[in-house]
Structure 1
Amino acid sequence: MQNNAFKIGILFSAMGKYSNFIINMLINAVLSRLLTPSEYGIVTVVQVFLVFFDMLVDMGFGPAVIQNRTLDDEDTGAIFKFSIIVSIILGVIFAFLGHPVNLFYGEDIYVPVFLILGFEVFFYGLLIVPKAILLKKRDFKSVNLLEIFSNIIYGIVAIILAFLEFSYYSIIIGRMIKVLTIFIFYYMKTKINYRAKIRKEPILKIWSFARNQFLFNFINYFSRNLDNILIGRYMGNAALAFYGKSYQTSIYPNTLLSGILNPVIQPIMSEYEDRKDVIKNVYLKVSRLLGDIGVPLSVFCYFAAKDIILLLFGGQWNQSIPVFQILAVSIWIQMISSSTGAFYQSANRTDLLLISGVQSAIFNVSAIIYGVYLGTIESVAIMVVISFSINFIINNYLLMYKVFNSNFVELINALFKPFILGTIQLIIFFILPDLTDNVFVNLIFKGIVFGLGLVFGLIITNQFKELTKLIRN
């Protein structure tokens, strides 16, 4: 039952993630050539605040609704009604946030932008409970098909508006239409008891879980977004755009691989809340799978950074290349670390998830502040990678020792062969020259070499059949 649920969930999750990856890559490739780095920097600044308010309006209710098996229709209806009130309040606050943001960044452009996106915050809040209900029912098909369709709508709108010289408004209006499309679908798809009255009992049922999840998200937000806030404030919109493109590109592999697993893990593994051994075994298998791809991919992205950035975004983004090289070192860390939250949730240990978020925030914030103090986006990237590495060790200590009552030996054993694969790639690319000045030809060549090197590594480490079996099971 567990294997079948995983297979079905991952199938549709993979379909959604890979399709959206291709769609977003095409959209970004076009928009990066139509908009300037400064215009992208403005969007990145707004995105920082938008993510914060999306987190506030979520309140941790999404994962809490999935985890709690005692909620009935009356309960979910009451929680949804409560989310409407929260969405209205936060949407209005966001809409009037443009003035203080103008003062902070010394600009005079954010007032109308925040006014428009206040509606996005409102509609995003209305999606939390319906989406959680669909995921709880394991309707991964509907959720992922909607993501594909809404991204296509966003791309069409944004590109048309960019051609019509709407500048950064092309992205902002496109996002607004995207979230409205998703809201309409969920409203039609999900059967929520809209007549249910707001009661405190359903909120209390999920509050302990939701509170810890929300506090983790709150702390994690600042540790993950402080770099964007400070770079935009002290280095300017253009520097922020270069850094943002590099960071965005470095998390693409995370989106493609761990991103297809994470939405599936908690809805399925929550049934094994009292079987920590089952959850641990799945975590080690997931870590091995992500490591087998992530460690070699980190090496590939480091050596192919120039070709990747210039091909995706064009020559005006060449200042993103050294930053992407630095961040590429942490790709495998980000991939494995991003999956840990779902296992904390599955084990109903959001208290430890919160502790993990606190220590992560301390290291990330300290590293980012020091990187900004050094004065370059490259120094910020270096400090971020160092912080990610420290947090990876501490986070897995909490998971292996405190949640699973195990130790690091099992995790090290799971990651030993992935590091052999990474060493093979390092040797190959260290001696591999560029073929031509054509970035497309170089990237194709390096991609083929990477693929052959990965297969060779899997064979000599006796993982080829093992990995095939792991994916199948």
Structure 2
Amino acid sequence: MNLVDEFKKGVFFSAIGKYSNIIVQLLVQAILSRLLTPKEYGVVAVVNVFLVFFQMLADFGIGPAIIQNKKLAKKEINSIFIFSCYLAIVLGIVFMLLGYPISLFYNDAIYIPISLVLGVCVFFYGVLVVPQNMLLREKNFMTVNMVTVIANVLSGVISVVLAVLGFSYYSLIISNTLKAAFLFFVFYFKTQLKIGFKLEMTPIKKIFSFSKNQFVFNFINYFSGNLDKILIGKYFSTSSLAYYDKSYQLSLYPNQILTNVIYPVIQPIMSDFETRMDKIKQVYLLLTRFLGTIGLSLSVFLIFSSKEIIFFLFGDQWGGSVPSFQILAFSVWIQLILTITGAIFQSANRTDLLLVSGVLTAVTNITAMIIGIGTGKIEFVALLLVVAFTINFMQTNYLLMYRMFDSNYLEFFKILFKPTLMALSQIIVFAMLPVLPFSNFIDLIVKGLIFVLVFGAGLIATGEMKVIRSIIIKK
């Protein structure tokens, strides 16, 4: 099977999985946002920041390292799995104990029992790392995505039922824990790994040089991406954190729809071309053109439709999320392209440059967050984050184009010229559109139709329609 066919197969199953999951998530969120209050969501948003951190610790860079190292034998992977089991047990126990300092930091004892439940969740996410990435290494995208869809459906049903029964924020926490357990048991039996007690360090040493850079990058990237929520939860109300978190998560949905379909496929396939920089650059520029064409115009639509989207999806009680979402929407196209850069660095076995990019990203993001928090408004936090994302976009592509591909900005930005023209046409049309007198749902439908018509006309006028068609059907 050639490179393009492998990409098509991988993206096909990834798309089925991701789009199904997004539909499930949106439906569940639409229901839960009407059953739970912003304050209850704020409590979960606080503890989720620490949960993500421990998931990152549990991965330890092991997942991408297993995918990249094609010489690892099944026995060696099993030894790495045993190591991950020990690590997961330790991290699960530590997370259970973490509830006490978290409760002191936020002056709320509720985080103690919540941490006890999520400690189990941390354990299952930790032992899940090796079996899941082993399936991805074998390019078994169908199994990974179909099982994840089933897990999300079950988790969604459980969370809604628990919310109706009055379990408050526990409805989100318990369902997430059960989801992690379900994924582990299915992937574990699919890979036929064996749980043992004897720990062999030789396989760990084999992947250490790759995984250490990946881990440090993930560690830095975590703080640069989550410090805003930690500080907002501390210095603002839990409702303010919920409004901000809801707008931030919503701004990431285009990533889930587009980039997250492509991202899991890039490294498992492109790692076969580790020494072919020309091939990796070709794939990166092609994906950038595709994502830029969609992302730039989509950002404009989201900016002009922010109120209708928030109110339709989550209800009138979430009006506090509208201003920050409108600001964050500008960065959607930037985030789409930035998201795939990690897999490009990994595919070329350049986690050293990935680490440099992560450090620079952390500096700009954390600086923006601290200044934004100091203003006392979540809208300013969002605005300064957009500035930071833009700076990171430039430095990451400098490392890619100049340091890795021995090229320049001109080659990169010229592929975004026509997508920019298409976005400008969207701005003109929406700026001239009068205030619509209908309901939020009807207004959203009207604006959506206008977006599609202008986008389609732009594809034809700029010739980008032919490019997208060639990407889809190219042999």
- Tell me the TM-score normalised to structure 2 length: 0.99
Alignment partner, residue 106 of structure 1: 107
How big is the shift at 1:436?
2.2
Contact 2:324 2:382 in 1 (8 A): yes
Correspondence 1:188 to 2:224: no
The within-5 A match list for 1:19-418 is 19-194=20-195, 197-418=198-419
| Distance of 2:132 and 2:249 partners within structure 1 | 25
Contact 1:356 1:398 in 2 (8 A): yes
Q: Give the letter aligned to residue 16 of structure 1.
A: G
| Distance of 1:196 and 1:270 partners within structure 2 | 32
CA RMSD across the alignment: 0.9
Equivalent residue pairs, number: 473
Contact 1:10 1:261 in 2 (8 A): yes
Deviation track 1:327-371 (CA, whole Å, cap 9, x = no partner) reads 001000000000100000000000000000000000000000000
| Distance of 2:196 and 2:152 partners within structure 1 | 32
How big is the shift at 1:433?
2.1
Give the percent of matched residue pairs that are identical in Structure 1 and Structure 2: 51
Structure 2: any 5+ residue segments left out of the alignment? none
The within-5 A match list for 1:5-24 is 5-24=6-25
Q: Give the letter aligned to residue 124 of structure 2.
A: F
Secondary structure, counterpart of 1:434 in structure 2: coil
| Distance of 2:330 and 2:75 partners within structure 1 | 49
Q: Give the letter aligned to residue 147 of structure 1.
A: T
Structure 1: any 5+ residue segments left out of the alignment? none
| Distance of 2:434 and 2:54 partners within structure 1 | 47
Alignment partner, residue 432 of structure 1: 433
How big is the shift at 1:403?
1.0
| Distance of 1:421 and 1:210 partners within structure 2 | 41
| Distance of 2:78 and 2:23 partners within structure 1 | 36
How big is the shift at 1:196?
8.7
- Tell me the TM-score normalised to structure 1 length: 0.99
Alignment partner, residue 472 of structure 1: 473
Secondary structure, counterpart of 1:330 in structure 2: helix
Deviation track 1:271-320 (CA, whole Å, cap 9, x = no partner) reads 00000000000000000000010000000000000000000000000010
| Distance of 1:227 and 1:11 partners within structure 2 | 35
| Distance of 2:65 and 2:197 partners within structure 1 | 19
Contact 2:308 2:440 in 1 (8 A): yes
Contact 1:76 1:193 in 2 (8 A): no
| Distance of 1:6 and 1:290 partners within structure 2 | 16
Contact 2:131 2:184 in 1 (8 A): no
Contact 2:68 2:347 in 1 (8 A): yes
Contact 1:161 1:170 in 2 (8 A): yes
Deviation track 1:366-390 (CA, whole Å, cap 9, x = no partner) reads 0000000000000100010000000
| Distance of 1:117 and 1:135 partners within structure 2 | 26
Q: Give the letter aligned to residue 349 of structure 1.
A: R
| Distance of 2:88 and 2:181 partners within structure 1 | 14
Contact 2:79 2:200 in 1 (8 A): yes
The within-5 A match list for 1:456-471 is 456-471=457-472
